[in-house]
């Protein structure tokens, strides 16, 4: 992964002030929001797999350091038409055990309200392939919706396996089956049981890319079934941070901010993000769990201990960038392009 800076990677951004022009119930516990510029301006372009930061005007009672300016920031995949330059669409599942952001969207946000929007950013890009297998679990359908449209547009051979608790809980199910018919395999768990990944994924294929988004147990199951597939055949996106092993290094390490000429010491008690901010670096962050990609920063020297849930093995091995909110250092020194 090549980046120029964390801020540049945040995309052009549209700042505060998009308007909720529509709010619709699209499945049990799921609403979709249509966002437009209040003045009708064109919105920044995006590609399938992109997400935005949605900044709600209210703080969260269960807020974390990820909140800023009193608002609540959450990441949602864009699931509308990427060729519609004036509209973003997202879908939000009410998370009963969440930190309160989804409840605000469901209970407080109304058509006509203004929200802040950051991004779009894409850490789950659709790479070229002759064939695709898409696997969605529940609200994990959202980043895959624009992907199947793109695959169809490009004439690729694709199939979508879409699992959910019940038919009524599966957002955009009818839209998908109406548009793509038998390419879409709908598997409500209460009628048909769990997804039969072994049967569906079959034997490893070198001409096929597998894209999966959904809850952690589904991702783990797909990763296990794809263990013998060629490297980089499987791409996943997580909504929650993956489990991590203990940090490679417990001792403090130094981080040099090459552009400002400062060097800071990162102790066990602090993140690299906190340390560089104390040194005056202005780095954007959002989730602070290694899932959203906002704090991505170029690495000039040293080997990061990658602890995020975004980079692929290939991208990690390049050692040219890291997520400052969670990742640390394998050695006693890192040099960042800050
Ligand atoms: Fe989300 Fe670092 S702030 S990955």
| 131-162 residue pLDDT tens | 999 999 999 999 999 999 999 999 999 999 99
Mean pLDDT of 60-88: 76
Ligand 1 atom closest to the Cα of residue 75 is 1
**Rounded to the nearest whole angstrom, what is the distance from the C-alpha of residue 164 to the centroid of ligand 1?**
28
94 and 193 both lie in a single domain? no
**Rounded to the nearest whole angstrom, what is the distance from the C-alpha of residue 51 to the centroid of ligand 1?**
13
Q: Which of 120, 140, 157 is the last residue of a domain?
A: 120
* Residue 290 to residue 327: CA distance in whole angstroms: 8
Q: Which of 120, 151, 175 is the last residue of a domain?
A: 120
Ligand 1 atom closest to the Cα of residue 66 is 3
Q: Is 2 among the domain residues? A: no
- 264 ligand 1 Cβ < 6 A: no
192 and 161 both lie in a single domain? yes
Q: What's the domain count of the chain?
A: 3
215-225 confidence digits (pLDDT tens): 999 999 999 99
pLDDT at position 15, please? 52
Ligand 1 atom closest to the Cα of residue 284 is 3
DSSP 3-state percent helix, strand, coil across the chain (nearest 5): 20, 30, 50
105 and 148 both lie in a single domain? no
* Residue 118 to residue 108: CA distance in whole angstroms: 20
Whole domain around residue 89: which residue ranges? 12-120
49 and 142 both lie in a single domain? no
* Residue 149 to residue 156: CA distance in whole angstroms: 10
**Rounded to the nearest whole angstrom, what is the distance from the C-alpha of residue 304 to the centroid of ligand 1?**
15
Pocket test for ligand 1, best of 242, 244, 325 (most atoms within 8 A of CB): 325
Share of the chain above pLDDT 90, in %: 75
Residue nearest to ligand 1 atom 4, measured at CA = 290
Q: What is the DSSP letter of 158?
A: E
Question: Among residues 9, 50, 3, which one has the least CA distance to residue 319?
Answer: 3
Q: 83: Cβ–Cβ under 8 A, 6 or more apart, which residues? A: none
- 323 ligand 1 Cβ < 6 A: yes
Q: Is 246 among the domain residues? A: no
The domain that holds 264 is classified in CATH as: 3.10.20.30
The domain that holds 66 is classified in CATH as: 2.40.30.10
- 293 ligand 1 Cβ < 6 A: yes
40 and 104 both lie in a single domain? yes
Range with lowest mean pLDDT among 20-34, 43-57, 108-122, 307-321: 307-321
């Amino acid at each position: 992964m090549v980046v120029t800076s964390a801020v540049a990677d945040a995309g052009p951004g549209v700042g505060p002030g998009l308007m909720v022009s529509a709010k619709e119930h699209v499945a049990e516990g799921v609403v979709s929001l249509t966002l437009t510029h209040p003045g009708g301006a064109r919105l920044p372009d995006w590609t399938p797999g992109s997400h935005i930061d949605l900044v709600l005007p209210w703080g969260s009672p269960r807020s974390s350091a990820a909140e800023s300016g009193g608002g609540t920031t959450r990441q949602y995949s864009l699931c509308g038409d990427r060729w519609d330059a004036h509209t973003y669409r997202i879908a939000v599942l009410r998370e009963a055990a969440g930190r309160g952001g989804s409840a605000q969207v469901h209970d407080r946000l109304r058509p006509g309200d203004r929200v802040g929007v950051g991004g779009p950013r894409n850490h789950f890009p659709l790479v070229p392939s002759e064939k695709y297998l898409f696997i969605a679990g529940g609200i994990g359908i959202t980043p895959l919706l624009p992907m199947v449209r793109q695959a169809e547009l490009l004439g690729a051979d694709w199939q979508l396996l879409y699992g959910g608790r019940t038919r009524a809980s599966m957002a955009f199910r009818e839209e998908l089956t109406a548009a793509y018919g038998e390419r879409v395999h709908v598997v409500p768990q209460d009628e048909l049981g769990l997804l039969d990944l072994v049967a569906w994924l079959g034997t490893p294929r070198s001409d096929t890319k597998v894209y999966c988004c959904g809850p952690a147990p589904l991702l783990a199951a797909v990763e296990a079934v794809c263990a013998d597939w060629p490297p980089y055949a499987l791409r996943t996106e997580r909504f929650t941070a993956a489990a991590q092993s203990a940090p490679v290094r417990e001792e403090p390490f130094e981080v040099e901010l090459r552009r400002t000429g400062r060097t800071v010491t990162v102790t066990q008690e602090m993140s690299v993000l906190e340390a560089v901010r104390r040194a005056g670096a202005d780095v954007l962050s959002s989730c602070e769990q290694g899932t959203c990609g906002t704090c991505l920063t170029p690495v000039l020297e040293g080997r990061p201990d990658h602890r995020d849930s975004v980079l692929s093995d290939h991208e990690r091995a390049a050692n040219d960038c890291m997520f400052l909110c969670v990742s640390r250092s394998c050695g006693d020194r890192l040099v960042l392009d800050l």
